Structure 1
Amino acid sequence: MRRTPVIAAVALAAPLFTVPSALAAPSAPPAVVQRHGGHGPASRLAGVEGTVNFRDLGGYETYFHARVRSGAIFRADALNHVTDAGRARLAELGVEHVVDFRTPLEVSTDGPDLLPDGLRATARPVGDGGMFATVNAVIGSKDPARQEAVLGDGRGAAIMRNLYRTFVTDPESAAAFGRTLREAADRSRTPMVFHCTSGKDRTGWTSYLLLRAVGVPHRTAMHDYLLSNEYRAEADAAVRARLEAAGYMKNAELLKPIQDVRPEYLEAALEVVRREYGSVERYLREGLGIDGRTRARLRHNLLIRR
């Protein structure tokens, strides 16, 4: 019989990146999903019940005063807790294509996407260099000294910076990101959703690259990346509280660098891009296979001229 990872058993929740299942909420009740109504960045949430970080990439302005088309590209956390109402919402959004960046271990631990009839996710795993297993083991140990040794004194943030570097240096990861961007240029595949577990790291990097590819400035794309902290804050705090209450961690704040997105994480990947390719433009072209024709198709498919 397959053994359920200890953190999954404690939290009954979807993991955050490829980190164990304790690091996100199992399913967001309507109050969580819908509380960001109205105008401004918070209204990007698409109201898919059973998610906390499912949002529209539309509305951002490019250098040349076009805007990303709303309802075309969605970024998300895992869809394995989507409710019946959430599936109805996915159908209402007209989603044609779902890309799942989770690894087979994540999917087997937390479950497959729950999608409307006739819609199937495309598995496109991006590895984590053993992060899932490492963090799961250290939390499951219930050993405060071991947890401090692995995650304390800036080591959690160092784990995340190293992870982001692999997004650029690992050929299989680059292939997955490049293929996803090329598919976004195909109108028959939109509306499109891509997601990982918490919708913040693999999904955040892909979203940043997509926005840059269509001409959105770095500062704006970084802003979108950092919004995961706002949307995930309540669920992630609840996870830390559950772990402490269950006796798995004495100081669950050690997990916060793993749960967060931070400018330094994205910058770690961008440093590698600049060192290896010189610029994001060249990285898109030579590292991910997004040539001029593909970028033109992306802009044609995803932008609205003012």
Structure 2
Amino acid sequence: MSLSRRALLSTAGTAGAAAVVAAIAPPAAAARHRGPRTPRSLRQIPLQGAVNVRDLGGYRTLDGERVRHGLVYRADHLGKLTDADLTTLGGLGLSRAIDFRIPLEVASDGADRLPAGVTAVSRPITDNGLFGQLHAVIGSRDPVRQEEALGGGRAAAFMADVYRTFVTDAANRNAFGQTLRELAARGAGPVLYHCTSGKDRTGWTSWLALRLVGVPEHLATEDYLASNTIRAAHDARVREGLRQAGLMRNPELIVPLQEVRREYLDAALSEVRAGYGSLYRYVTAGLGLDPRALVGLRERLVG
């Protein structure tokens, strides 16, 4: 055990601290489950104007506890919510909604519609230029340009690069770290965070939060991959709409951009190992979470 891990146990002196340490052991020590299963504990919030809204609670931890429901919600963008959706969200008792979108995304899809009393927090995390480049390529209506930009594995490679910036970009690290610290804050009300599709920036935040409170890697990864099942019908309609509008001859080119894939998550984790050596070092040295914040996250969200 490294000195920093001893310090964590000494600071906390609880079984919860031991669970945190076990949860963020090097990924190679854990079994690798790659199946496209939807987690049995998934608790989706049905809305008309958003697709991928769910409660992060319900998962079992390594020590047999369970992540509490009703404290953390993950979502796609909330700019198209109906009045009925606002009523549904209002019933969750949210204190704040954290928006990871960059200004270009907000301008395209609209600012969040939120129930009265919910504090809107803008916390942009870069998409490495994905949104702007995708709009330009699709807007060109040029099948040759679209193939050159997105075909031959290039779309998937671009997504892997986006995930690497979650680790390498200092501003991104600050945003992820600040969000996790807020989730750990005592007395904080329920929090929702989201990006545009609720799968990449939101997915990485959720994967980290689940791992840090002691959820096994394969369950955190199932939660991450569940976006594919949840978004499948909506994303297929988007592709068909592009075809019918004459914007894309082959809209299947954007499938790698619409999906989450284990290879994208692995790209971020490879960067974690290269830059920090371990997930523990990434969240402490990279994201700025001290041992008390890690233990606070566990104590607030698990029980």
TM-score, normalised via structure 2 length? 0.85
Runs of at least 5 residues in structure 2 that lack an aligned partner in the other structure: 1-37
CA contact (8 A) 1:213 1:284 kept: no
Match of 2:281 in 1: 282
TM-superposed CA distance for 1:190, in Å, is 2.7
TM-superposed CA distance for 1:270, in Å, is 0.3
Deviations 1:120-140 (A, max 9, x none): 310000012221111111111
Match of 1:112 in 2: 111
Match of 2:20 in 1: none
SS in 2 for 1:122: strand
Q: Which amino acid aligns with 2:47?
A: V
2-side partners of 1:193 and 1:287: how far apart?
23
CA contact (8 A) 1:142 1:247 kept: yes
2-side partners of 1:60 and 1:298: how far apart?
15
Match of 1:179 in 2: 178
CA contact (8 A) 2:100 2:125 kept: yes
| 1:75 aligned onto 2:82 | no
Match of 1:233 in 2: 232
Match of 1:103 in 2: 102
Runs of at least 5 residues in structure 1 that lack an aligned partner in the other structure: 1-38
2-side partners of 1:283 and 1:42: how far apart?
28
Match of 1:56 in 2: 55
2-side partners of 1:288 and 1:165: how far apart?
14
Match of 1:3 in 2: none
2-side partners of 1:202 and 1:71: how far apart?
21
Give the 5 Å matches for 1:284-303: 284-303=283-302
SS in 2 for 1:189: coil
Runs (4+) off by over 3 Å = 39-43
1-side partners of 2:206 and 2:76: how far apart?
13
Give the paired residue count.
266
CA contact (8 A) 1:54 1:74 kept: yes
TM-score, normalised via structure 1 length? 0.85
Higher RCO (C-alpha 8 Å, min separation 6)? 2
Q: Which amino acid aligns with 1:132?
A: F
2-side partners of 1:295 and 1:49: how far apart?
35
TM-superposed CA distance for 1:300, in Å, is 1.1
Give the 5 Å matches for 1:168-247: 168-247=167-246
| 1:84 aligned onto 2:83 | yes
| CA 1:43–1:67: 2 relative to 1, 3 Å | closer
Percent sequence identity over matched residues? 53
2-side partners of 1:190 and 1:48: how far apart?
21
CA contact (8 A) 2:39 2:222 kept: no
2-side partners of 1:122 and 1:63: how far apart?
32
CA contact (8 A) 2:42 2:223 kept: no
2-side partners of 1:75 and 1:198: how far apart?
10
Match of 2:142 in 1: 143
Match of 1:130 in 2: 129
CA contact (8 A) 1:97 1:189 kept: no
CA contact (8 A) 2:41 2:58 kept: no
2-side partners of 1:118 and 1:94: how far apart?
9
TM-superposed CA distance for 1:43, in Å, is 5.0
2-side partners of 1:53 and 1:290: how far apart?
28
TM-superposed CA distance for 1:40, in Å, is 6.1
CA contact (8 A) 1:44 1:57 kept: yes
CA contact (8 A) 2:44 2:55 kept: yes
